[in-house]
Amino acid sequence: MNSDPRARLPSVSQMLAHANIGRLIGAYGRTAVLDALRDALELSRTAGSLQPRDVDGIIDSARSSLEGAEARLVQRVINATGIVLHTNLGRAPLSEAARAAVADATGPSSVEYDLTTGARGSRTAYSSELVARLCKAPSATVVNNGAAALVLAVAALAAGREVIVSRGELVEIGGSFRLPDIIGASGARLVEVGTTNRTNVDDYRAAIGPNTAMILKVHRSNFLQVGFVADTPIARLVELARSSGILLVHDLGSGLIEQGGDDLQALDEEPAVADSVAAGSDIVIFSGDKLLGGPQAGIIAGTAELVQRCRRHPLARVTRIDKLQLAALEVTLLQHLRGTATDDVPALSLLRTPAAALAARASCIAVEVTAQIQAEASATVTSGSTETYVGGGSAPGKVLTGAAVNCAGIDAGALAAALRRQTPPVIGRIAHDVVVIDLRSVPPHEDAAVTRALVDSILSVCASIPQ
Ligand SMILES: *Cc1c(COP(=O)(O)O)cnc(C)c1O
């Protein structure tokens, strides 16, 4: 008998003969199962303890790693964080019509085909026309995302030349993407002016030289400055840029389509795209999901000649929008143009829901969950008011009052994990050992699923604790 425990490990072919393997292969495919078995075997071999594991143990370990891989798939979740435009959860939830358009575009679709003439068509001609109308701009184009729009505009309009930016606007967008690096990657040279808290028009004027291509004004979309601060209004920058023969490019990131009227109260301090265009910005840039509540997209709007230079730049192909995004974007733009976006676009209707309506729903859910867990569980489920933000690098400092279901008296980490294991997973947040299910970001039709998930998760956490 061999005394080395490793020799007692089963072989892959032994394991393939095991009764449970057929089901695993059916679910994950032969290659993935073989890889997982080899990894599990290897783990047993290299484990410090050198404990020989039986076939069942190795197959179990392979199964859980296969299930773990599945959990990394992009899958539908319920966003109960209270942050409507949550970048980690895919920002804006698309409208029904936009989802249907995406589903339609998954097959062969007229993405670059003109159905009238039967000839090759332009991928972005129609969406660009809709964007231009919406922004009241002479021309526009659409690309993959806001950062791509910025890179393309700087590369096409300022490569090899200087771009002037206020020191108060050298922002980090998130995920450690920083404006100075983006400008550098676009082949332009950044010229910083002013100070962190104050930049006036003379600071810009003094920095303009023979090699200056543009002033880039960047909206502080994800942070606030308060106190002894001053920056230069767009109108003054337009004046300066015109008289100096350079461009004024305005990166709004987020914001509003148009100020006034029936605009979103939650975003009422955000700058409006149409205002920037009307003030004379040569180019305005923004993000399609932040500003329109649509799919990820980047928008460049402005004069026909400059937009054309962006379209013709080689990076335009690199920053191209995908057909699925495009399908959703066209529908979302039409909803804005028809004036029905506040009802049709989920991000806008979620942000507009009155706090009282959220409070009524939270109370219903809390009562229902309490009734269903009463006998078995010690958790206390109540409703309460909350304060959240728009999110996604939009409207910093704008506090939205809403309502949440609060679960106390239970291991908060364990409950949050159990909620993430539900189908669909429910993503809440934890504050002071309380699991908070914030309804600001939950559409009403998901209340039943939230209730079910809470009951199930609370009972499973309580059952796993020895009484
Ligand atoms: C968010 C943002 C961007 C980037 O937009 P994405 O669509 O996220 O790529 C660029 N500039 C500003 C000011 C932003 O807020």
According to the 3-state scheme, what is the secondary structure of 210-261? CCEEEEEEECCCCCCCCCCCECCCHHHHHHHHHHHCCEEEEEEECCECCCCC
Which residue has the least CA distance to atom 1 on ligand 1? 253
Among 4-8, 123-127, 399-403, the range of highest mean pLDDT? 123-127
Determine whether the shortest distance from the Cβ of 391 to ligand 1 is under 6 A. Answer: no
How many A from CA of 235 to the centre of ligand 1?
22
Our mutation pick for probing the ligand 1 site, out of 290, 319, 329, 390, counting the most ligand atoms within 8 A of Cβ, is 290
Determine whether the shortest distance from the Cβ of 145 to ligand 1 is under 6 A. Answer: yes
Our mutation pick for probing the ligand 1 site, out of 142, 221, 273, 276, counting the most ligand atoms within 8 A of Cβ, is 221
Mean pLDDT of 183-204: 95
Which pLDDT score, from 0 to 100, does residue 59 have?
Answer: 86
Mean pLDDT over the full length of the chain = 90
Closest-lying ligand 1 atom to the alpha carbon of residue 298:
7
Percentage, residues of the chain above pLDDT 70: 91
Which pLDDT score, from 0 to 100, does residue 426 have?
Answer: 98
Closest-lying ligand 1 atom to the alpha carbon of residue 177:
4
Q: Assess whether pLDDT exceeds 70 at residue 52.
A: no
Mean pLDDT of 360-373: 97
Closest-lying ligand 1 atom to the alpha carbon of residue 219:
13
Number of other CB atoms surrounding residue 42 within 10 Å: 11
Closest-lying ligand 1 atom to the alpha carbon of residue 148:
9
Determine whether the shortest distance from the Cβ of 105 to ligand 1 is under 6 A. Answer: no
Which pLDDT score, from 0 to 100, does residue 73 have?
Answer: 87
Confidence band of 466 (pLDDT split at 50, 70, 90)? low
Mean pLDDT of 322-343: 95
Q: Assess whether pLDDT exceeds 70 at residue 7.
A: no
How many A from CA of 286 to the centre of ligand 1?
7
Percentage, residues of the chain above pLDDT 90: 69
Determine whether the shortest distance from the Cβ of 218 to ligand 1 is under 6 A. Answer: yes
Query: pLDDT by residue (tens digit) across 417-429?
Result: 999 999 999 999 9
Q: Where is pLDDT greater, at 22 or 395? A: 22
d(CA 120, CA 110): 9
CB 199 within 8 A of CB 166: yes
CA dihedral 366, 367, 370, 372 (to 10 degrees): -120
Determine whether the shortest distance from the Cβ of 253 to ligand 1 is under 6 A. Answer: yes
Mean pLDDT of 79-89: 94
Determine whether the shortest distance from the Cβ of 298 to ligand 1 is under 6 A. Answer: yes
Helical (H) or strand (E) element with 383:
strand 380-388
Which pLDDT score, from 0 to 100, does residue 72 have?
Answer: 85
Which pLDDT score, from 0 to 100, does residue 1 have?
Answer: 47
Determine whether the shortest distance from the Cβ of 150 to ligand 1 is under 6 A. Answer: yes
At 187, list the tokens: 């082949």
How many A from CA of 157 to the centre of ligand 1?
19
Verdict on whether the full-model pTM lies above 0.85: yes
d(CA 419, CA 32): 28
Which pLDDT score, from 0 to 100, does residue 270 have?
Answer: 61
Which pLDDT score, from 0 to 100, does residue 263 have?
Answer: 42
Query: pLDDT by residue (tens digit) across 142-152?
Result: 999 999 999 99
Determine whether the shortest distance from the Cβ of 144 to ligand 1 is under 6 A. Answer: no
CB 449 within 8 A of CB 424: yes
d(CA 170, CA 162): 15
How many A from CA of 301 to the centre of ligand 1?
15
Mean pLDDT of 292-318: 97
How many A from CA of 298 to the centre of ligand 1?
8
Determine whether the shortest distance from the Cβ of 146 to ligand 1 is under 6 A. Answer: yes
Query: pLDDT by residue (tens digit) across 314-330?
Result: 999 999 999 999 999 99
Mean pLDDT of 23-28: 90
Confidence band of 267 (pLDDT split at 50, 70, 90)? low
Q: Assess whether pLDDT exceeds 90 at residue 19.
A: no
Which pLDDT score, from 0 to 100, does residue 51 have?
Answer: 56
Determine whether the shortest distance from the Cβ of 435 to ligand 1 is under 6 A. Answer: no
d(CA 451, CA 58): 37
Closest-lying ligand 1 atom to the alpha carbon of residue 87:
8
Confidence band of 365 (pLDDT split at 50, 70, 90)? very high
Query: pLDDT by residue (tens digit) across 226-260?
Result: 888 888 899 999 999 999 999 999 999 876 655 44
Which pLDDT score, from 0 to 100, does residue 265 have?
Answer: 47
- Kindly write down the DSSP assignment for every residue of 103-165, as one continuous string: HHHTSS--TTB-TTTSSB--SSHHHHHHHHHHHT-SEEEEES-HHHHHHHHHHHHHTTSEEEE
Which residue has the least CA distance to atom 6 on ligand 1? 146
Query: pLDDT by residue (tens digit) across 429-464?
Result: 999 999 999 999 999 999 999 999 999 999 999 988
Q: Is 430 helix (H, G, I), strand (E, B) or coil?
A: strand
Q: Is 385 helix (H, G, I), strand (E, B) or coil?
A: strand
Determine whether the shortest distance from the Cβ of 81 to ligand 1 is under 6 A. Answer: no
How many A from CA of 142 to the centre of ligand 1?
14
Which pLDDT score, from 0 to 100, does residue 266 have?
Answer: 46
Among 166-180, 217-231, 302-316, the range of highest mean pLDDT? 302-316
How many A from CA of 222 to the centre of ligand 1?
9
Which pLDDT score, from 0 to 100, does residue 45 have?
Answer: 77
CA dihedral 253, 292, 80, 87 (to 10 degrees): -30
Our mutation pick for probing the ligand 1 site, out of 143, 150, 217, 249, counting the most ligand atoms within 8 A of Cβ, is 150
Determine whether the shortest distance from the Cβ of 451 to ligand 1 is under 6 A. Answer: no
Q: Assess whether pLDDT exceeds 60 at residue 83.
A: yes
Which pLDDT score, from 0 to 100, does residue 16 have?
Answer: 81
Mean pLDDT of 209-226: 90
How many A from CA of 219 to the centre of ligand 1?
9
Which residue has the least CA distance to atom 2 on ligand 1? 253
Determine whether the shortest distance from the Cβ of 297 to ligand 1 is under 6 A. Answer: no
Closest-lying ligand 1 atom to the alpha carbon of residue 221:
15
